[in-house]
Amino acid sequence: MKALEEKILREGQILPGNVLKVGSFLNQQIDVPFMNEMASEGVRFFSDKAITKVLTVEASGIAFGYAVAAKLNVPLVFAKKSRTSNVSGSVLQAQVYSYTHNTNYTATVSADFLTEKDTVLLVDDFLANGEALKGLAALAEQGGAQVAGALIAIEKGFQKGGDALRQAGMQVESLAIIEEMSPERGIRFRP
Amino acid sequence: MKALEEKILREGQILPGNVLKVGSFLNQQIDVPFMNEMASEGVRFFSDKAITKVLTVEASGIAFGYAVAAKLNVPLVFAKKSRTSNVSGSVLQAQVYSYTHNTNYTATVSADFLTEKDTVLLVDDFLANGEALKGLAALAEQGGAQVAGALIAIEKGFQKGGDALRQAGMQVESLAIIEEMSPERGIRFRP
């Protein structure tokens, strides 16, 4: 998505440790009209799938997940990173390793919300090593749901998680794929 | 909002410790078309205010915050509960006591996103003791922004946080106010 690539170049900041800060429009502060455009662009890739739910993980996936679910007119389900008083009864769980925080968390969702009746689109703001997506896919599979594929705002292509999932057969669509990025040389996108 | 009260009665579950579980439509799983209706209803209370941003706190406030920001056509800003690699530079911070988790957290937002140019609408899914709202108002004030008021999906009126904020002069609008709630006697709404 050309407009997203341009926005990343204009507003993004590259921090040490392969961190791309896009807090001015995608995290922290969300450019809502633009995110709605991103969602419109993204759902076109999955127009042949009868998606019943969008699945994401808190917290940074929720806004884009909401925008995508609104376009598809389906519910948004989000996995929590810890079990709280709001999640009770039978649950689905998956261990996810976070490279950003160098720790594991347990993605948790109530078993009521992902069932064999569902065809689920996985949505997240970033894709790097693919650990979060694998966790979301595991939750869907535990619930007996079909995974239609994954829609990502920004993929760090050089971290290979997306390509591994594509090789494993998942339809992974990213609105912008960063092939190379460094504070010195800037950002190069995958054509 | 009558439709919200009916949905709470139909789908809500009262758990021990004054917890109202509305995971089937407001947390965990979000009924996106219904939440868009809630947002439409809610923004009418603030039609006389020139709101420039919606401010909420992760994670459960993000979906409703997004819906409200979309109706107002303004950016959504969300405070993080911990400082991460995505928040850098000058920050605004407020200590918030969470009764749900019986612990303090530090609500943090980049100082770039709340300035004296902003008139901010505070949004959250629940209002009980009002600690989160007070924290959000403190962040806005630190940044020099005006607070237009607060829009809440469900207020636990019996926990008095909303009334205290109203007495202190804040315009607090809740789409449903629970006056009384118990597993035995069910839910009574404020008329």
Residue B7 inside a domain? The answer is: no
- CA A179/CA A52 separation, integer angstroms: 32
CB atoms within 10 A of CB A127: 25
- CA B169/CA B166 separation, integer angstroms: 5
Please give the full DSSP string across A38-55, using - where no structure is assigned: HHHHHHGGGTTS---EEE
Specify the pTM.
0.95
How far from the centroid of its chain's Cα atoms is residue B79's Cα? 12
How far from the centroid of its chain's Cα atoms is residue B129's Cα? 12
- A2-6, A83-87, A163-167: the lowest-pLDDT one: A83-87
- CA B99/CA A88 separation, integer angstroms: 18
Structure tokens at B74: 């303004």
B90 touches chain A (CB under 8 A): no
> Using one digit for the tens of pLDDT, what is the confidence trace for A103-113?
899 999 999 99
Chain A residues touching B14 at Cβ < 8 A:
none
* pLDDT grade for A102, boundaries at 50, 70 and 90: confident
Residue B189 inside a domain? The answer is: no
> Using one digit for the tens of pLDDT, what is the confidence trace for B23-32?
889 989 999 9
- Reported residue count of chain A is 191
- In 3D space, the residue among B80, B94, B89 whose CA is nearest the CA of residue B136 turns out to be B94
> Using one digit for the tens of pLDDT, what is the confidence trace for A116-141?
999 999 999 999 999 999 999 999 99
Percent of chain A with pLDDT over 90: 85
Chain B residues touching A80 at Cβ < 8 A:
28, 59
pLDDT at A11 over 90: yes
Mean pLDDT over the full length of chain A: 94
Please tell me the predicted confidence (pLDDT) of residue A159: 94
Pairwise CB contact (< 8 Å): A78 & B59: yes
Instruction: Give chain A's domain count.
Output: 1
- Residues A108, A79: contact at Cβ < 8 Å? yes
pLDDT at A18 over 70: yes
Pairwise CB contact (< 8 Å): A32 & B66: yes
SS3 for chain B is CHHHHHHHHHHCEEECCCEEECCCCCCCEECHHHHHHHHHHHHHHHCCCCCCEEEEECCCCHHHHHHHHHHHCCCEEEEECCCCCCCCCCEEEEEEEECCCCEEEEEEEEHHHCCCCCEEEEEEEEECCCHHHHHHHHHHHHCCCEEEEEEEEEEEHHHCHHHHHHHCCCCEEEEEEEEEEECCCEEEECC
> Using one digit for the tens of pLDDT, what is the confidence trace for B65-100?
999 999 999 999 999 997 665 556 799 999 999 887
> Using one digit for the tens of pLDDT, what is the confidence trace for B28-63?
999 999 999 999 999 999 999 999 999 999 999 999
Chain A residues touching B112 at Cβ < 8 A:
23-24, 29
Please tell me the predicted confidence (pLDDT) of residue A101: 77
pLDDT at B4 over 70: yes
Please tell me the predicted confidence (pLDDT) of residue B65: 98
| Among A29, A86, A100, beta carbon nearest to B75 | A29
Q: What's the rounded mean pLDDT across residues B165-190?
A: 96
- CA B137/CA B160 separation, integer angstroms: 17
> Using one digit for the tens of pLDDT, what is the confidence trace for A65-98?
999 999 999 999 999 997 665 556 799 999 999 8
Region for residue B48 given its phi and psi (left: phi exceeds 0; alpha: psi -120 to 50; beta: otherwise): alpha
Residue B187 inside a domain? The answer is: no
- In 3D space, the residue among B121, B115, B16, B24 whose CA is nearest the CA of residue B67 turns out to be B121
Mean pLDDT over the full length of chain B: 94
Helix (H, G, I), strand (E, B) or coil at A174: strand
A21 touches chain B (CB under 8 A): yes
* pLDDT grade for B17, boundaries at 50, 70 and 90: confident
Please tell me the predicted confidence (pLDDT) of residue B87: 59
Pairwise CB contact (< 8 Å): B86 & A110: no
Q: What's the rounded mean pLDDT across residues A60-69?
A: 97
ipTM of the complex: 0.94
Residue B148 inside a domain? The answer is: yes
Residue B10 inside a domain? The answer is: no
A62 touches chain B (CB under 8 A): yes
- CA B98/CA B102 separation, integer angstroms: 5
List, in sequence order, every beta strand (DSSP E) within B3-130: 13-15, 19-21, 29-30, 53-57, 76-79, 91-98, 103-110, 119-127
Give A104's strand partners.
A97
B88 touches chain A (CB under 8 A): yes
Chain B residues touching A19 at Cβ < 8 A:
85-86
- A98-107, A146-155, B134-143, B177-186: the lowest-pLDDT one: A98-107
Structure tokens at A1: 């998505």
- Give the chain B residue nearest A20 (alpha carbons): B86
* Domain containing residue B63: CATH number: 3.40.50.2020
Chain A residues touching B101 at Cβ < 8 A:
84
Structural domain that includes position A112? 2-189
Helix (H, G, I), strand (E, B) or coil at A152: strand
CB atoms within 10 A of CB A81: 18
Please tell me the predicted confidence (pLDDT) of residue B83: 62
CA torsion, ordered B71, B76, B80, B81, to nearest 10 deg:
-30
Q: What is the DSSP letter of B80?
A: B
B98 touches chain A (CB under 8 A): no
| Among A60, A69, A110, beta carbon nearest to B23 | A110
Q: Which residue has 């800003």 as its token pair?
A: B77
A76 touches chain B (CB under 8 A): yes
Q: Which residues contact B29 (CB under 8 A, 6 or more apart)?
A: A53, A75, A76, A77, A110, A112, A113, B23
CA neighbours closer than 13 Å in the CB half-sphere of residue B129? 11
Please tell me the predicted confidence (pLDDT) of residue A23: 87
Chain B residues touching A75 at Cβ < 8 A:
25, 29-32
- CA A151/CA A130 separation, integer angstroms: 12
